[in-house]
Amino acid sequence: MKVTYIHHSAFYVEWNKKVLVFDYYDGKSSGDCIYYGEMPEFPEDTEMYVFSSHGHRDHFDMEVLKWSCRYPNIHYIFAKEIKKKLGNSALQRLLPNSDIAKLKENIHYMKPQENLVLGDIKIETLESTDSGVAFVVTYGEQTIYHAGDLNWWHWEGETEEDNQYQEHTYKEQVNCLKDKHIQVAFVVLDPRQSKDMTIGMDYFLEQVKADYVIPMHMWKQYEWIRQYKDTLPEEKAAHVIEISHENQECLQI
């Protein structure tokens, strides 16, 4: 398994002869933080799985649908909420009419707490604390977790009720992973939360058995990963992978 960081929360995973892509977008549609990470081209017969956890513009880009013209063996696994973005008129602006019917057959929409099997890939979803879903993907004996925007979001100025909902829902969903052994986990570490930026990551590391944990959703402020690791006991810090730039091969196992 080889993991490459594209940008923000977007990664691609080369897993035997399969390629899994998570939360890709073009990097230029999320405000002042501009990214330049790119998806490489793979052989046309590549078995590809494209995951989008929700429809926010920093997690989903309709551009990924054009990949179906290059890769006939492609599967899209989208949060159910994305379906409303993909009406016939939107698809017709992207693809020739002759390709739309086949594309629709390869799009799978998932709600929270659902299961899907595509060949030898098993996919489970969790409920996000923000929008859409988180993905748990198992292939053979190995499992990947991608949080999307599932995080313990605690914001100064929000009501106590809202912050309690965030805490309760996050813990409830992460606790669903306690009995799993996860090889690679992509987990939110968002500097915008200031003093509360690590609470979601802390809880994840306490509760979940994960070999490698890769922080994401960092708005290019990668220096926080090293600072965070310095606060952890050595045995926990060893599981956290540092990233420093776009299109970085960050893990090979």
Q: What is the pLDDT of residues 162-204, one digit of tens each?
A: 999 999 999 999 999 999 999 999 999 999 999 999 999 999 9
CB–CB of 134/145 below 8 Å? yes
Percent of the chain at pLDDT above 70?
100
Q: Cα angle vertex 45, ends 39, 47, to 5°?
A: 70
CATH of the domain at 203: 3.60.15.10
Name the band, by pLDDT with cuts 50, 70 and 90, for residue 99.
confident
* Residue labelled with tokens 């926990």: 236
- Sequence-distant (≥ 6) Cβ neighbours of residue 142 within 8 angstroms: 1, 15, 183
Domain span holding position 25: 2-252
Q: Buried b vs exposed e over 40-79: b needs ≥16 C-beta within 10 Å?
A: eeeeeebbbbbbbbbbbebbbbbebbebbeebeebbbbbb
CB–CB of 161/154 below 8 Å? no
Which comes out higher in pLDDT, residue 93 or 202? 202
CB–CB of 50/64 below 8 Å? yes
- Sequence-distant (≥ 6) Cβ neighbours of residue 99 within 8 angstroms: 68, 69
Mean pLDDT of 13-40: 93
DSSP characters over 183-245? EEEEEE--GGGGGGTTHHHHHHHHH-EEEEEEEE--TT-THHHHHHHHTS-HHHHTTBPP--S
Alpha helices (H) in 4-96, listed in sequence order: 88-94
Cα distances from 62 to residues 35, 82, 121, 125, 128, in angstroms, run 17, 10, 23, 21, 21
The predicted structure's pLDDT at residue 136: 98
CB–CB of 10/22 below 8 Å? yes
The predicted structure's pLDDT at residue 4: 98
pTM as predicted: 0.96
Task: Dump pLDDT digits (tens) for 115-170.
Answer: 999 999 999 999 999 999 999 999 999 999 999 999 999 998 899 999 999 999 99
CA–CA gap between residue 120 and residue 206 (Å, rounded)? 30
For strands 209-216 and 181-188, give the pairing.
parallel
**Domains contained in the chain, number:** 1
